[in-house]
Amino acid sequence: MGRAVIASLRSHMGILVQHRLLLEVLTQRDLAARYRGSVLGFLWTLMNPVLQAAVYVLVFRHLTGAIRTPGYETTLFVGLLPWTWLAGALMQGGPSLVLGAPLVLRSAVPPQVLPAVVVLAHGAHFVLALPVAMALVIVSGGSSSWSWLALPVAVVPLLVFLYAITLAAAALTTRLRDVQFLVQNGIGIWFLLTPIAWPVAMAPERLRAWLAINPAAALILPFQQILAEGRWPDARLLLAGSLWATGSMLVAVHLFERHREAVVEAL
Amino acid sequence: MSEPAIRFEGVTKRFRRWHASVPHTTLKSMVVRMWDPRARAPEPRWELLSELDLALEVGETLGVVGRNGAGKSTLLRLIAGIYRPDVGRITVRGRVAPLLELGAGFHAEFTARENILVNGVLLGLTRAQVRDRAEAILDFAELAAHSDAPLRTWSTGMVMRLGFSIAIHVEPDILLVDEALAVGDARFQERSREALTRRVRERRGTTVIVSHDTQAIRTLCGPVLVLDPPHARLHPDAESGLADHARALEALP
């Protein structure tokens, strides 16, 4: 079993590495296509988390007064950036194989390249938005911190986890279009269950220990700790996030490789 | 003799039968099957290729003929690694450029130059190689004047010309051509056939051509593979291959 999983992972990743130039070119094209013909370009991508944050602050702090935690605004915005990456990758990546069928069947693009491109393109948006989050932290009275150097430690497990779930969603969608609707409906619920719009401190103490069973919480909270709170991320959270990333990757890649032929034939 | 460019050893390829009326997948059956392959009910499969052995030497040109649905495109996809055989082994030496559909992978919002980059990389070139060949590609397609307009403003024929021009300039070790000979106006057809003939005559790579055009098969191809599923018969020369193909067509009910 273990050896079979390793073999799947090796051949799966080998193909991605072999096609790295294609990944690069297709990711660039994905980004360029999004902004073609628009004047504001990347600002639109930034607008989504900005507007979302503004609404939550308006509702939870000012209209209802439900949240009084200091620094809520920055924590919220910082949390929204990795969440936007997750939601964007999953929503666009789910149908990526179905929509990209001609690339797979006529141009011999290896199927895993398509979800990978979506994850990378949204990852590029995330990285481009990071300086904005940093600026917001500084403007709202915080300061830059050595802890910011720990960002890669939070980014890598998130990237791996996002690739795994996007790959799984894309493969399942080829056979079962329901997955698309499941994702669309599930993502809003998942967001509310993840401590982004509400501060972790508001959750009851005994529940907080269980937060990491939500992979999004385990993977996104470290960003808030690093950037908004200016401290080193919690080691137990990082461990939980890495476990989620590794586990999901092994399962998704192994199943994908075992059913690769069925996925391609279903296109 | 050196290693063949393409080698099939006992290759069998089956497809599942699709029936729109039968709900073939439920969420439950799918999850169960994914976790436990033994739980998989034997699906009805239909055999397209059966234990095919084939060896194509470097520089040879293989013609593939057969009626519609006989598996011609499937054969090309097996060579390109898009499909994998159910049984047997396929060994391919060198860079494969599948020309299964002209302009596959083009993006309508992008200019010719941008599409040449993506398409060139798709067919196995590096950035630098694409840059070096871009002018030649545009010249051959006679589209230099339109190189900075987005493809959605082009006519279908122009898009096809660009697709063919890129593929022929990639100079791949193995070129797979699917019915792509009749592209554009008569003048461009003439030029594209010349380019393909030059590649074949000068043995600048191995070529596999799928076509219903018997004249093209006759002038371009050495060996011809007749697909008559689940059988495939390899003929050493085009004449006997085409005769066999004609007989197979007549034998159809």
- The bridge status of strand B61-66 relative to strand B224-228 is parallel
Q: How many interface pairs between A and B have CB atoms less than 8 angstroms apart?
A: 69
What is the model's pLDDT at position B33? 62
Lowest mean pLDDT among A137-146, A162-171, B120-129, B222-231: A137-146
Q: How many helices (H) and strands (E) does chain B have?
A: 8, 9
Tell me which residue in B34, B96, B121 faces A25 most closely, judged by beta carbons. B121
Chain B interface residues (partner A, CB cutoff 8 A)? 15-16, 25, 27, 30, 34, 37, 77, 80-84, 96, 98, 100-101, 104-105, 107, 109-110, 114, 117-118, 121-123, 126-127
Q: SS3 helix, strand, coil % of chain B, rounded to 5?
A: 40, 25, 35
pLDDT digits (tens, 9 = 90+) for A164-203: 999 999 999 998 888 989 999 999 999 999 999 999 888 8
Residue A206: pLDDT above 90?
Answer: no
CA distance A200 to B145: 60
Highest mean pLDDT among A209-213, B37-41, B164-168, B222-226: B222-226
Widest CA span of chain A, in angstroms? 57
CB A262 within 8 A of CB A171: no
What is the model's pLDDT at position A236? 92
A127-A131-A134 Cα angle (round to 5):
125
Q: Helix A72-93 and helix A42-56: axis angle, to 10°?
A: 130
If you search the block for the tokens 């079962």, which residue do you land on?
A: A176
Q: In the sheet where B206-210 sits, what is the strand order?
A: B96-99, B174-178, B206-210, B61-66, B224-228, B231-235
Subunit contact A109:B107, Cβ cutoff 8 A: no
CB A154 within 8 A of CB A126: no
Count structural domains, chain A.
1
Lowest mean pLDDT among A86-100, B100-114, B136-150: B100-114
DSSP single-letter state for residue A246: H
Collapsed DSSP state (helix, strand, coil) of residue A93: helix
Subunit contact A108:B96, Cβ cutoff 8 A: yes
The Cα-based distances of A156 to A82, A107, A219, A222, A242 in angstroms read 12, 30, 10, 12, 9
Subunit contact A21:B121, Cβ cutoff 8 A: yes
Collapsed DSSP state (helix, strand, coil) of residue B214: helix
Question: What integer is the mean pLDDT of A37-58?
Answer: 87
Quote the percentage of chain B above a pLDDT of 70. Answer: 87
Q: Which residues contact A31 (CB under 8 A, 6 or more apart)?
A: A121, A124, A125
What is the model's pLDDT at position B37? 55
Tell me which residue in B82, B96, B117 faces A264 most closely, judged by beta carbons. B82
Name the residue among A218, A215, A234, A224 with its Cα closest to residue A197.
A224
If you search the block for the tokens 């409906």, which residue do you land on?
A: A185
What is the model's pLDDT at position A56? 93
Residue B23: pLDDT above 50?
Answer: no
For chain A, the average pLDDT equals 92
CB B244 within 8 A of CB B233: yes
Predicted confidence band of residue B180 (pLDDT cuts 50, 70, 90): low
DSSP codes of every residue in B67-111: STTSSHHHHHHHHTTSS--SEEEEEE-S-EEEESSTTTT--TTSB
If you search the block for the tokens 């494969």, which residue do you land on?
A: B96
Q: Print burial letters for B209-221: b (CB count within 10 Å at least 16), e (below 16).
A: bbbebeebbeebb
Subunit contact A261:B98, Cβ cutoff 8 A: no
Range of the domain at A22: 2-265
If you search the block for the tokens 């791949």, which residue do you land on?
A: B172
Distance from the B51 Cα atom to the nearest Cα atom in chain A, whole angstroms? 19
CA distance A53 to A129: 14
pLDDT digits (tens, 9 = 90+) for A117-139: 999 999 999 999 999 999 999 98
Tokens standing for A128?
Answer: 């481009």
Where on the phi/psi map is residue A118: left (φ > 0), alpha (ψ -120 to 50), or beta? alpha
Question: What integer is the mean pLDDT of B79-97?
Answer: 92
What is the model's pLDDT at position A254? 94
What is the model's pLDDT at position B26? 60
CB A157 within 8 A of CB A242: yes
Distance from the B40 Cα atom to the nearest Cα atom in chain A, whole angstroms? 12
pLDDT digits (tens, 9 = 90+) for A229-243: 999 999 999 999 999
What is the model's pLDDT at position A94? 94
Q: In the sheet where B45-56 sits, what is the strand order?
A: B45-56, B6-16, B87-92
Tell me which residue in B83, B101, B117 faces A264 most closely, judged by beta carbons. B83
Question: What integer is the mean pLDDT of B172-197?
Answer: 82
Interface test with B, best of A34, A105, A253 (most B CBs within 10 A): A105
What is the model's pLDDT at position B48? 87
Q: How many helices (H) and strands (E) does chain A have?
A: 13, 0
Residue at A162: amino acid letter: L
Question: What integer is the mean pLDDT of B35-56?
Answer: 73
Predicted confidence band of residue A161 (pLDDT cuts 50, 70, 90): very high
What is the model's pLDDT at position B22? 45
What is the model's pLDDT at position B34? 63
Predicted confidence band of residue B167 (pLDDT cuts 50, 70, 90): confident
CA distance A152 to A154: 5
Name the residue among B64, B98, B108, B84 with its Cα closest to residue B241.
B64
Residue B168: pLDDT above 70?
Answer: yes
Predicted confidence band of residue B113 (pLDDT cuts 50, 70, 90): very high
Interface test with B, best of A25, A255, A259 (most B CBs within 10 A): A25
Question: What integer is the mean pLDDT of A139-158?
Answer: 90
CA distance B28 to B33: 8
